Chains A and B, each alone.
Chain A
Amino acid sequence: MRLDVVLRVVVKLLLPFILVFGFFVQFHGEISPGGGFQAGVIVGAGLILYAIMFGLDLAMRVVSVRAVEKLVCLGVLLYMGTGFAGMLLGGNFLDYNVLSYDPIKGQHLGIILIELGVLFTVAGTMVAIFYAFAGREK
């Protein structure tokens, strides 16, 4: 196990940057290439990298299985909740124009909420699937 010391140090150095890049892709996604799907996969890949290098037990102490499962559900609920919020405010399902006093502002708010929902679901799904595979022994 001690032979992979280079990998461990490099991963420790890179991990914050991977996560920050993931969130950059998420929140800068309206201006540059990016969005919830890409950011979710990058954040999920960062957590999977941590789990591969430092072991499943440590990774599960950082992000527990239950937290990941709740994250998956939270994303879908946030997405559908945004849709129903549009209905409650007098528009159609997933109509963002009514979310704010100004239709353009409403669109921006709606897109940010939707992309957050996608981020939660996709990142949670990636990590949950990896935990499920890695938790089985031969």
Chain B
Amino acid sequence: MEAFINMVLLTMMAASVVALVRMRNLFAVVILFSVYSFLMASVLVVLDAPDVAMTEAAVGSGVSTVLFLAALYLTKTEEAQPRHSPLLPMFVAVVVGAALVYGTYDMPPFGAADTPVNTHVGAQYPGRTPAEIDIPNVVSAVLASYRGFDTLGEVLVVFTAAIGVLLLLRRNKRRPGDASEEAGPDRAGMED
């Protein structure tokens, strides 16, 4: 039953991506991407990853849709007809896909417990957590304690991205006492 629900949801995801690739109205593309993200969150629940599903539901179909819509408001919503033939990219995509599908025949089957992924370090965490950290949610334990340094790196990446976006987009016009908003120092360099 688990595997069946999983397959149905994955098929729906693939269908929404086909529609997403073909569409030219960017507004529709962004909304379809939101639908796709929500399907992804459902698949992640079926795959026993409620933590990840919660994040994907909030990020994929919530915040990232808002950001895409904001960017569309600032640009335009219709995609131009491409001038190059799509044959070469299609060829590259099909060749890469065929090579990867050929590779899957050596991969272990879905849902097996005795695969290399599930027998080494990942499988030890549920056993070690009660004695060493003593919290029920193993994902939190691994995230914050066993792999705390890793998470520090991720937090720093998020921090850096925030600084990057602020440097690119912020105007200091909302400060009191700063009347000359158009001649701000960050615009002068970009437009000549």
Contacts and interface: CB of A to CB of B under 8 A. Distances in A.
A25 B59 CA distance: 15
A41 to B, nearest CB: 4
B19 interface: no
B159 A94 contact: no
Nearest to A32: B137
Given A48-B66, A125-B161, A136-B74, A60 B50 contact: no
Contacts of B137: 29-35
Interface in B159-186: 159, 161-162, 165-166, 168-171, 174
B125 to A, nearest CB: 14
A133 B71 contact: yes
A98 interface: no
> Which bracket fits the contact residues of A?
35 or more
A136 B54 contact: no
B11 interface: no
A50 B63 CA distance: 13
Nearest to B73: A138
Interface of A: 25, 29-38, 41-42, 44-45, 48, 52, 60, 65, 69, 72-73, 75-76, 79-80, 83, 93-94, 96, 104, 107-108, 110-111, 114-115, 117-118, 121-122, 124-126, 128-130, 132-136, 138
> What 8 pairs across the A-B complex have the smallest Cβ distances?
A33-B50, A132-B169, A133-B70, A30-B135, A125-B162, A41-B58, A111-B144, A94-B148
13 contacts: A35-B144, A38-B51, A38-B58, A42-B58, A45-B63, A69-B166, A96-B145, A107-B145, A110-B148, A130-B63, A133-B169, A135-B171, A135-B174
